[in-house]
Amino acid sequence: MTIEQRATTIELNEAEIPVIQRKGDYAIVAITKHGVELARRLHRTFSHGDLYYMGKFAKGDEQERQIQLFNGSVRLLLPALWPAYKGIILLISLGAVVRMIAPLLQDKKTDPGVVVIDDKGEHVISVLSGHLGGANELAREVAAVLQAKPVITTASDVQKTIPVDLFGRRFGWEWESADKLTPVSASVVNEERVAVVQESGERDWWMHDTPMPANIRVYSSIQEALADEPQAALVVTHRLLEPSEEAILRNGVLYRPKVIALGIGCNRGTSAEEIEAVVTETLSELHVSIRSVKAVCTIDLKKDEAGLLEVCGKYGWEFVYYTPQQLNQVKLEEPSETVYKFTGAYGVSEPAAKLYTGEDTLLLTKKKSGNVTISVGLLRFAERRGEACPSEGS
């Protein structure tokens, strides 16, 4: 059964998991008369949701409105919805939902967000994957549509403090490891001494309309934070840590902000393997994490360079290219007549990295290795607005 065959009804049974083909990001599921009325109302406004309810409540317009009917226990429908949707909205009692989803739980990094709505539509409860799965935000959105009260129990949201598992997520920051997420989160909500060490990345990460709690203190360096002996730490840096700094991670989470721009020039037909090898070797030499790379920048002559496109695709990096005229507007340390002869630009990697970062100084001006020339730039951000600001030097 597919989602296009709306005139028919999914017959649920123990023998097989039904086949569904989602159209939206969220599944809305109802099993009672009042629940169906609420679900239909929500579906009208919540256009990025797919609606499922029991066949006995059919209204006759399900095919037209692309609503899927089903017969049998909703428990047998959930295994099909679980891996397919970003979030699942259930108009079912909370206790029943807990029992039904228990066998499906795997990991908070992969489980969908689950939201439960009571039969009168008075409360919208974030049940599972409140942060990483987005259930808290989903509950707020659904509550706004139904004019209901969102019920959020996540401690960091209630206390208006830092959600450790979401810290910097809106900027694309990545964890180096998730091992300490739980104990560090406990330190934050239990008001222990927590250090936020920020060496790079966006500065406007505080999301609440209240002042930062007194137990959280911001530092500009790891050594400065270590001197105060915090009980937990959130460290934001593009650097590879020195052995003397590793102690900060005994109860700490290391975040990699997206602040590195790679200016790359290469000969036509250079393999992705060679480009990747030069990138990893260069970043290692600079003691910079590859997780902090945001973009690869080059000349527009290379916009179809297969090796560059393959490397960017592998790592999910932004691929940016500039015209020779744009590149020639940048002051270079060593303009090249040879490069100009072949490209119309006096340089590729260096000016491309400088254009992207808006900086006059780079972490690495230029290095040639085999068929690849690479430059490395660092994005800097203003203290409050998250805007690129003038360089203070590398």
Residue 60 CB coordination number (10 Å):
6
Q: Can you give the CATH number for the domain in which 310 is found?
A: 3.30.420.180
Q: What are the per-10-residue average pLDDT scores of the chain (394 residues)?
A: 54 88 88 94 83 93 89 94 92 94 88 92 87 74 85 71 79 88 89 95 84 92 95 97 96 96 97 98 98 97 96 94 96 90 94 96 96 97 46 31
Rounded Cα–Cα distance for residues 52 and 36 (Å): 9
Is residue 389 in some structural domain?
no
- Among 208, 232, 256, residue at a domain's last position: 256
Q: Can you give the CATH number for the domain in which 187 is found?
A: 3.40.1390.40
Is residue 221 in some structural domain?
yes
- Among 110, 125, 153, residue at a domain's last position: 153
Rounded Cα–Cα distance for residues 100 and 126 (Å): 16
Rounded Cα–Cα distance for residues 166 and 129 (Å): 11
Is residue 4 in some structural domain?
no
- Among 153, 184, 214, residue at a domain's last position: 153
- For 220, phi then psi, to 5°, come to -95, -10
Is residue 195 in some structural domain?
yes
Is residue 159 in some structural domain?
no
Using an 8 Å Cβ cutoff, are 184 and 265 in contact? no
pLDDT value of residue 132: 65
Task: Answer yes or no: do 264 and 210 share one domain.
Answer: no
Using an 8 Å Cβ cutoff, are 241 and 221 in contact? no
Using an 8 Å Cβ cutoff, are 249 and 235 in contact? yes
Task: Answer yes or no: do 144 and 215 share one domain.
Answer: no
Is residue 2 in some structural domain?
no
What's the total number of domains in the chain?
Answer: 3
Task: Answer yes or no: do 298 and 364 share one domain.
Answer: yes
Task: Answer yes or no: do 110 and 21 share one domain.
Answer: yes
Task: Answer yes or no: do 279 and 329 share one domain.
Answer: yes
Is residue 388 in some structural domain?
no
Task: Answer yes or no: do 248 and 321 share one domain.
Answer: no
Task: Answer yes or no: do 52 and 113 share one domain.
Answer: yes
pTM, to two decimals: 0.68
Task: Answer yes or no: do 41 and 137 share one domain.
Answer: yes
Instruction: Give Dmax over CA atoms of the chain in angstroms.
Output: 78
Distances (CA, A) of 50 to 27, 46, 98: 5, 9, 21
Task: Answer yes or no: do 111 and 178 share one domain.
Answer: no
Q: What does the DSSP 8-state code read for residue 333?
A: S
pLDDT value of residue 45: 78
Task: Answer yes or no: do 127 and 207 share one domain.
Answer: no
Task: Answer yes or no: do 217 and 264 share one domain.
Answer: no
Q: Can you give the CATH number for the domain in which 59 is found?
A: 3.40.50.11220
Whole domain around residue 239: which residue ranges?
164-256
Rounded Cα–Cα distance for residues 236 and 173 (Å): 9
Is residue 125 in some structural domain?
yes
Task: Answer yes or no: do 338 and 370 share one domain.
Answer: yes
